[in-house]
A = this chain, B = another copy of it.
Amino acid sequence: MTDRPALLLDLDGTLVDSVYQHALAWHKALELGGIKLSVWRIHRRIGMSGGLLADSLARETGRELSEEDAAKLKEAHARLFATQLGDVRPLPGALDLVRHLTKTGVAWAVATSGALASAQPLLKLIHLPPGVPVITRDDVAHAKPNPDLWLAAAARLGVPPEDAIAVGDSVWDLLAARRARALGVGLLSGGYGQEELERAGAYRVYEDPADLLLHIDELGIRAG
């Protein structure tokens, strides 16, 4: 164990305020594909791999999705989300957190279930400095709740996952953290309730990046 844990950060709902736009984009995409689902059920799946999300939501309505159907759905979602991109903002404290981690030399990375193409405009919003590793859906076999994304992010930093703290706003981030044997930390900024995140294994739950930064010493994050 090192004395300086690495910080692995989710993107949507953790650094940028995009979860509600994602939920409504999926809602519309699913409806276009003939699948009617309440928005709250979709909201609770955001952060999962897109394929798993489409499968699980289709199963809930008793439909089977072909690979082609799933690809169409993901494409429609990406297209509809892109039309909302102008309304997406960095979460409070996201830019301060990025600056703080960079300034203090903490090893940190971003790991998102989204594809690189959809992550790129969001990473611009938080002024990601060059050199910070970004692991996306395109880099791994399976997105969250599989542990692959957190594991790949830790590996890229050269840190064992047991020495990493994985921060996310969804239960899928926390399940993936458990499976990666990283310490999971939750944020309320994706719209889950505190108890949902705690029950999914969050060691601590903060409101948003600003609140995390205010309490970063509680996580034993030390300057490099």
Q: Which residues of A contact B (CB under 8 A)?
A: 17, 19-21, 23-24, 27-28, 36, 38-40, 43, 87, 89, 91-92, 188-196, 208
Contacts and interface: CB of A to CB of B under 8 A. Distances in A.
Contact of A27 (B87, B196, B208): B87
A39 B195 CA distance: 19
A194 B197 CA distance: 12
Nearest to A21: B24
30 contacts: A17-B38, A17-B40, A19-B39, A20-B20, A20-B23, A20-B24, A20-B27, A20-B39, A20-B43, A21-B24, A24-B24, A24-B87, A28-B87, A38-B91, A38-B92, A38-B189, A38-B208, A39-B191, A40-B188, A40-B189, A40-B190, A40-B191, A43-B191, A191-B191, A192-B193, A193-B193, A193-B194, A194-B195, A194-B196, A195-B196
Nearest to A199: B195
A87 to B, nearest CB: 7
Contacts of A189: 38, 40
Q: Which of A190, A191, A194 has the most CB of B within 10 A?
A: A191
